[in-house]
Structure 1
Amino acid sequence: MPISRRTVLRTAAAGTSAATAGALLWTAAPAAEAAEGSAGAAGDRRLDLLDFGDTDSEQAHGLAAADTSVAGGHAGDRARVAGPLDPPDIKGGELRFTMAVDPVRQNYLTVKFWGGDTSPYKTIAYINGEQIGYRRSGDYEALNIGTVRPLPGRFFYATVMLPLEHTHGRDKAEITLRTYDGAFSAKVTADSRGYYRAYTHTGARLALDDDPRPEFTPPTDTVADLAESEKQALIDGYVAGQVKLFDGHSAKVDASADGRLSIVRYEDELLFYSGALATAAWCPAKSAAEKKAALLRIFKCVDNHTKDYYGNTKLLARGGHQGDWGGYYGALGQALYIVENLIDDNDVYGRDAFAAFLDEEFTTGTREGETSLKDVDFDGGRLTRRAAWGRVLKANFDYARSRLSYIYNQVLYCYEGAWEAHEGLRVIGSKFYEGRARSHRIAGECLGFDPFLGEEVLVGPDGQDLDLFHSLFYHDTTARWTEDYIRYVIKGLATSKLDKDGNVVRRLPLGRHYTTMTERGHTRENGYVANYGEATNYLPQWFHRTWGHKGDEELNDRILELSLRNLHARSYARHTDLDNDLKRFMRMEMVIDERNANYPGFPGYVLRQSEGKIMLYVSLAHHIEEHPERYAGSAWADTRKYAREAVGFAQQQLADHQYFVQRPPAGRHALRDHPARLLQRLLRLPGEGVRGGGHPARVAGGRPDRRGGRVPHLLPDRCPADVDRGRHHLPARLRRQLEQLLRAADLPAQPGEVDRDAGPVLLAQGQDGHLHRSDRHGRRRLDRLAVADGGPDDLLAALLALRHHPRQPQVTPRARSPR
């Protein structure tokens, strides 16, 4: 069956695409696209086939294969494996052979692999003795980058484009497949993955109908679920861990006069502490006195970090991991912004008391030096706390706005440091604060909804131009700074260069209309990203951080809309799959990932599963539900829909029993609401059935794969939990909702039907006593309901796993009978 080059996120076992070098893409092209593609594909043809392990085929192609051997294969197809050299080297044995090529047209090489093989080694292809593409990441990468059981039970194919200069005017080319250590540093000490077949062909499609492949029906079983008591224990443990962490941070600050919380990126102790104090329902600081004590600890942290800065100004540029991105001390401004409403609360602290506190004399005990400051104000006068905090924040503001990149994740990580520092200047009433509109513009460019104009141009104290050349290729421990950065910028001595109209001069590397987020909600990197696309997982935290801040209401609305629009856009590049044990779950499409290619892709229910951040997006849906009037009307219709999708993605993860297997470490992100409360609401948020990102049905192993489709979710449930266990009776309201349930495993097998309404999926109790699904025509879709493996009580247990609204009866699932 031909596979279209145009269907980017597609192909594998029944065919292959050469849409990208080394692409291992999945999913069959819809029939219309295939027909359209084939019409323009006249002349696309297979030129040659080498069947490894077949003596006649190997001899006909002049195979030279020292240090390799024939291994038993699959589906009647044998393979060759490359063994270690003697003595071992960074490469193993190689397969060198001759293949027919077209002397005029573009040629491609495709190699067949077994999806159940595990090997960390890379396969690099060579033509006429020269390497094809890059050894590491790039748009023309290795033929096989190393895989762990990427497609159990099936074959997959990898394709690389052959350079024209090596085929033009020739009818044959020498191909070499060489096995390397994945990092090109360690020794190859084990056999490689199996090499089954090699093909040359013209055009970016290859018909493989005659290829041997196994019969494979993808199972829909899930991993074993945890008992409800275990789930509750995990939730309780998570909350207890957060409380313990908060109390531990309090003790850490109180332990000594110079106690402080870490502001190193990804440690973020001060961010966690301030966020928990300001927003978390579980925070142990409940009374006004306890909140004031916690506020004073935050002020103490800012004091001690400021003293560090005065003693070594270079800390601003390199104070910790990735401190050169956005400035190390932006975190101080961020913490002050987060707790601003508590500062203003007269029952806790009060703005007047804070003003008096800031005007106190501040001593650092430091002297002027190349990378140090004397404890005086800019004019040499008395130093106050307001002036000292203001200097470190101003310096961070200048540093962050002058040292930027042009791709989304780097703009976010760098420019947000300017916003954080600038908002800190506002909170302390600094003369260096430039106004709310300025802050909002920085946030808009940073997050992607306002055009990004590039670095802000700075001048020195005398108005002289500064040499602020930088390259973010030199980053973190290798970061470099010009002398002007050290002498002026990180000491807070630079100012903005203004044009004739008084506006800050910008570098304008991409003009005046380029946003780092597309209209559809994708981030602009160097290409499509999945792993680095996760930078937007910080957006919900931005939303909760800015919620309730007077003057930031419009900004907060923009962030909420952007967060959910981006989540929706990312959902289209996720697909249902099987893990190494053939259990159902979902993956991120990473074959064509420009930055971190991975086959078959990281586990992810829209978000990378190991991040453990799906509840941050559920909290956005929760917030919208709690403020229906604010988000009413047609302007918010898409956002409300995307919020329901976010709930659906989380419910799908719960239904697949994949949520509780990932346990986020306490402190990585403090949820605004109690996490248990968010979990409980997953099954009772209002709204209609959600169709998540459109995941087209794909073809695997030559058979239609019905698991790839929309990401549905378990519908909201508000019915009373009246269950007659003796008769296995389902309540009428629950039954009506379940009749609308659409699961990925139930989607139509034909790709052309994917985008049409599949209709309701009806539940019926079979003679075996289990619930089964059938479509609107009465055809049975599955042998047994995939959510449950023990009858209707188990279905209810899945639907009610995290319990109903407190006013509803609680259902305790019956113990399952041995199967």
Structure 2
Amino acid sequence: MTRHRLILGASALLGLLATQASAATPLIDKVVFGDAVSEAAHAVDASASERVEGGLGLAARRLPPSEAGARFSGDLKFRLAVDPAIQNYASIRLWGGDVNDGKLTLFCEGRQVGYRHLGDVEILDIGTQEPPFAGRFTYRTFPLPITLTWGKKALDCAIRASGPYAVYTQQFESFQKPMSQASRPVYALYVHADPFLDSGDQAGVAPPLAAAPSAGPEVLDDLKVRVNREIDRKLAQTGPLNLLEVQFLARAAALSWTKAHANPAVARKVIESGDAFYARFLADPKSVYVDASRTNADWDAMGPFGKALRLLQADVAPYLDTPVTGVEGASTRREAYARMLDAGLGYIQTHRRLYTNQSMIVDLGIYWSNEGLRSLDSPLARPEPAMRRFFYESMGLAPWTGSLDEAGKPTYSSAAADTGSFRSADDYRLFTQAGLSKELGFVGSYGEILDWATSIYQATAATSGGQGDPLLRDQLLKMARARMAFRYPGIDAEGARTMLLEAPIGWRDPVYPGATTYVQKSGWDNTPFNVAVATRDPQLMAIARQALDDGQYYAVLRDRLKDKNQRTTIGLLDAYDEWLAVKAWPKSEVKLPMTAGQPDFVFADPEGGVVAIKNGDDVLYASLYWRANCGVNRLARFHYQTPTVDRIATIAARVDFEPSGKTCVRRATPHISAGSIPIVRYPGEAPAALEGEVLPVAKGPPEARYKDQDNPYAGRGYYYEATYGPYLIAMNAGSKAVLVDLPKAASERTDLVTRRKLAPDATSLTLAPGATAVIWSPGR
């Protein structure tokens, strides 16, 4: 273990001796909030806070809103000792049983430490959606900017609380929500040289598990009632439906338990609505991709209508060769609908999108628009293989070639007219070879796109419920199996056993903990068992049984049904039939790999810079390529759980890369460290503590351009290395073997990837291209 010189100011030493006789990690300083001696030693001004007794009966401080309806609290002020000559790390101690979506931000020397939204260094605490670690403490660690600490022995700091964020807005008033409650209690703040903190403080224990969540099979009855009630409403509605409602009826008609099944009123309502769509198209041709009734209509255009026409092909056939109603001199519906579908198809073929979920949605719109044309027997229909090739690109089976130009040639750009500022590399694929999506590194919730991937596979089936393209199925299963490593054991809000989606190392994950997830995350457009039932893969079906046996399938559906959105109703249409399929599946011993009692394993993806490790009772996730949108930041992110401690840490890491000669300079904004997400400016906000830091930009392919865009090459390395606690991780993402230097150890070590034992005096190992080593040193 690297040793660093410790410099303690007199007041810091007094506080340390008063509050902690010894600690496993040497400390530079420690503030215990709510402890009179420690607070006095650190000049704490607690006037804006409340002293409370929290987890394990320990004292802490929480910050209430400064006034009723306020967005912020007052400041909890204090003085913090630092080492003037090294990289300092700070860690906050929080109770893992808290559910509080408010935020905590640290300010030092008048600057904001960390970025408030998706920064490579985050704010002090982003809040919790559910209990992240019931009965025990959780720690969040981050580097203090060396520009703040260099040459100084102490910093004047403050912690301020705020309400939750709304995310997708550019306005302060709508982004920053008011505080609806006081902040999470803050127990302690530590300063240390070793990025791994073993505080030595009192730890809790996991509470006894409840038998199961309170929800049961009755939620399936609730779902059926909701769907049939919605069908009745739509069929009785005066006037046409919108596009999502048409798709809802068309999909419901395939389900034997719904009132839409074998109901001739469905086809009549779809045709009535199709006529209205066409009349609107004649009045405004842009209406095929500008539609206020749904989100991002420009992504799938008239694809949902094309899907409805194919699903109801036999039922709508009698209506197609008669004129459109309400349009003077109109041609037949067959010709009119084809003209409308073709216009939408033409638009989205020239406006594809790069990020994987978006690419999939657009390409589904392309495919279903064409399938609508094919179901109409229209001469405007393209050959099906020409449309399926877009699926191969979205699923990572072929390089992404972008939008088509007017001549039908690929542009490698999101918009056909945008090749001057954006162009992807010729061989850029949307998934790594291991099966993870690339936005840009590992993403948790945003990477849960098995629903769209399954929809792509199912779209190629000749009949509903039939088998689709086998190449797509194989790739779908690779994606699904890769995601299985990123669910870990947790305890839900009712105290029941669950599996949680890994979020702390996700590039696009602003919440903690992640949602209950087994086979796949349930969202607007899908069920929790979608991919398992569609593929009937034995491993995925067994994991679906695990969710059912834990009672979490019912709990997820119960919570989804609280959302009355039309998309949610559509997304849950197949939940009942899928439940029947999983319930009938034989039980097995197959579980999610992170489940307690399962064999130890390492999942590593050097292309994405991510690793997942189960080692006895240890669960460790690491992103060694971490939120480096515009340049190499030499940071890594860890999430490490043992039975008693939860740690989330951003630490300095080694990143070897090929320089481009270009640089990226951190902006003054404390909102986001880099990327294309809009900046929200706060009234009188403090500048970012990392403002002005110059990051080198890694070299990318010469044909690629990413002006004002997230650059998938700018922050990447060909070799990553980081040490956190007893784990040293080395990843070779390059094309040549790498010699990894090993520090001497007190005892034998193990490479958890190869299970090879390493002698205490071993000084190096050779890492082949694409290989990962995880060196575990027990007792470190």
User: TM-score, normalising length from structure 1?
Assistant: 0.61
Answer yes or no: is 1:211 the counterpart of 2:201. Answer: yes
Q: CA deviation at 1:687?
A: 7.8
Aligned partner of 1:318 in structure 2 is: 290
User: 1:67 touches 1:93 (CA, 8 Å); kept in 2?
Assistant: yes
Cα gap change, 1:238/1:190 in structure 2, threshold over 3 Å: closer, same or farther?
closer
**Amino acid aligned to 1:594:** W
**Amino acid aligned to 1:262:** N
Q: CA deviation at 1:303?
A: 2.2
Q: CA deviation at 1:306?
A: 1.0
Cα gap change, 1:218/1:507 in structure 2, threshold over 3 Å: closer, same or farther?
same
Aligned partner of 1:477 in structure 2 is: none
User: 1:362 touches 1:385 (CA, 8 Å); kept in 2?
Assistant: yes
Q: CA deviation at 1:671?
A: 9.3
Aligned partner of 1:603 in structure 2 is: 516
CA offsets, 1:493-522, max 9 Å, x none? xxx99xxxxxxx999822232222333332
CA offsets, 1:720-777, max 9 Å, x none? xxxxxxxxxxxxxxxxxxxxxxxxxxxxxxx9999999xxxxxxxxxxxxxxxxxxxx
Q: Which of 221, 236, 240 is 1:260 aligned to?
A: 240
Cα gap change, 1:398/1:104 in structure 2, threshold over 3 Å: closer, same or farther?
farther
Q: Which of 374, 389, 399 is 1:441 aligned to?
A: 389
Answer yes or no: is 1:526 the counterpart of 2:526. Answer: no
Aligned partner of 2:547 in structure 1 is: 650
User: 1:306 touches 1:389 (CA, 8 Å); kept in 2?
Assistant: yes
% same residue: 23
| Residue correspondence of structure 1 range 178-327 to structure 2 within 5 A | 178-183=160-165, 185=176, 188=179, 191-208=182-199, 210-214=200-204, 216-223=205-212, 231=217, 234-236=219-221, 238-239=223-224, 241-252=226-237, 255=238, 259-263=239-243, 268-277=244-253, 279-284=254-259, 294-320=266-292, 321-327=294-300
User: 1:567 touches 1:646 (CA, 8 Å); kept in 2?
Assistant: no
CA distance in 1, matches of 2:751, 2:555: 28
Q: CA deviation at 1:305?
A: 1.0
CA distance in 1, matches of 2:295, 2:594: 36
Cα gap change, 1:88/1:526 in structure 2, threshold over 3 Å: closer, same or farther?
same
Q: Which of 136, 149, 157 is 1:167 aligned to?
A: 149
User: 1:698 touches 1:705 (CA, 8 Å); kept in 2?
Assistant: no
Q: CA deviation at 1:327?
A: 4.5
SS of residue matched to 2:59 = strand
CA offsets, 1:565-621, max 9 Å, x none? 333222211122112343322222222232232122223334335767123234225
Q: Which of 338, 343, 346 is 2:311 aligned to?
A: 338
Cα gap change, 1:411/1:282 in structure 2, threshold over 3 Å: closer, same or farther?
same
Greater fraction helix: 1
Which of these two proteins has the greater Rg computed from alpha carbons? 1
Unaligned runs of 5+ in 2: 3-23, 166-171, 596-613, 620-638, 647-748, 756-780
Aligned partner of 1:516 in structure 2 is: 430
Aligned partner of 2:48 in structure 1 is: 67
CA distance in 1, matches of 2:85, 2:510: 31
CA distance in 2, matches of 1:534, 1:189: 30
Aligned partner of 1:704 in structure 2 is: 643
- Number of matched pairs: 576
| Residue correspondence of structure 1 range 366-377 to structure 2 within 5 A | none
**Amino acid aligned to 2:310:** Y
SS of residue matched to 2:433 = coil
Cα gap change, 1:102/1:311 in structure 2, threshold over 3 Å: closer, same or farther?
same
Cα gap change, 1:386/1:151 in structure 2, threshold over 3 Å: closer, same or farther?
same
CA distance in 2, matches of 1:113, 1:521: 35
Cα gap change, 1:413/1:506 in structure 2, threshold over 3 Å: closer, same or farther?
farther
Cα gap change, 1:448/1:201 in structure 2, threshold over 3 Å: closer, same or farther?
same
User: TM-score, normalising length from structure 2?
Assistant: 0.64
Q: CA deviation at 1:688?
A: 5.0
Cα gap change, 1:546/1:280 in structure 2, threshold over 3 Å: closer, same or farther?
farther
CA distance in 2, matches of 1:298, 1:186: 41
SS of residue matched to 1:529 = coil
Aligned partner of 1:685 in structure 2 is: 585
Cα gap change, 1:674/1:194 in structure 2, threshold over 3 Å: closer, same or farther?
closer
CA distance in 1, matches of 2:343, 2:641: 61
CA offsets, 1:8-50, max 9 Å, x none? xxxxxxxxxxxxxxxxxxxxxxxxxxxxxxxxxxx98532212
CA distance in 2, matches of 1:327, 1:674: 22
User: 1:126 touches 1:175 (CA, 8 Å); kept in 2?
Assistant: yes
Answer yes or no: is 1:564 the counterpart of 2:477. Answer: yes
CA distance in 1, matches of 2:420, 2:250: 33
Q: CA deviation at 1:94?
A: 1.7
| Residue correspondence of structure 1 range 368-387 to structure 2 within 5 A | 383-387=331-335
Q: Which of 614, 617, 622 is 2:528 aligned to?
A: 614
CA distance in 2, matches of 1:753, 1:690: 25
Q: Which of 417, 438, 454 is 1:540 aligned to?
A: 454
SS of residue matched to 2:643 = strand
| Residue correspondence of structure 1 range 625-664 to structure 2 within 5 A | 640-654=537-551, 658=555, 661-662=558-559, 664=561
**Amino acid aligned to 2:242:** S
Q: CA deviation at 1:657?
A: 6.5
Cα gap change, 1:706/1:139 in structure 2, threshold over 3 Å: closer, same or farther?
closer
User: 1:81 touches 1:191 (CA, 8 Å); kept in 2?
Assistant: yes
Cα gap change, 1:245/1:448 in structure 2, threshold over 3 Å: closer, same or farther?
farther
Q: Which of 76, 83, 97 is 2:78 aligned to?
A: 97
**Amino acid aligned to 1:704:** P
Answer yes or no: is 1:176 the counterpart of 2:166. Answer: no
Aligned partner of 2:611 in structure 1 is: none
Greater fraction strand: 2
Unaligned runs of 5+ in 1: 3-42, 367-374, 377-382, 471-495, 498-504, 625-639, 708-750, 758-819
CA distance in 2, matches of 1:571, 1:642: 10
Identify the range of structure 1 (124-133 vs 419-428) with the bigger mean alpha-carbon deviation: 419-428
Cα gap change, 1:549/1:149 in structure 2, threshold over 3 Å: closer, same or farther?
closer
CA distance in 2, matches of 1:687, 1:469: 46
Q: CA deviation at 1:87?
A: 8.5
Q: CA deviation at 1:393?
A: 1.3
Cα gap change, 1:512/1:432 in structure 2, threshold over 3 Å: closer, same or farther?
farther
User: 1:54 touches 1:78 (CA, 8 Å); kept in 2?
Assistant: yes
Cα gap change, 1:338/1:121 in structure 2, threshold over 3 Å: closer, same or farther?
same
**Amino acid aligned to 1:271:** Q
Q: CA deviation at 1:441?
A: 0.9
Q: Which of 85, 103, 109 is 1:122 aligned to?
A: 103
CA distance in 2, matches of 1:387, 1:427: 12
Q: CA deviation at 1:540?
A: 3.4
CA distance in 2, matches of 1:756, 1:459: 52
CA distance in 2, matches of 1:88, 1:620: 48
CA distance in 1, matches of 2:434, 2:519: 16
**Amino acid aligned to 2:234:** H
Cα gap change, 1:534/1:304 in structure 2, threshold over 3 Å: closer, same or farther?
same
CA distance in 2, matches of 1:92, 1:349: 60
CA distance in 1, matches of 2:164, 2:577: 44
Cα gap change, 1:84/1:307 in structure 2, threshold over 3 Å: closer, same or farther?
closer
Answer yes or no: is 1:110 the counterpart of 2:101. Answer: no
Cα gap change, 1:698/1:245 in structure 2, threshold over 3 Å: closer, same or farther?
same
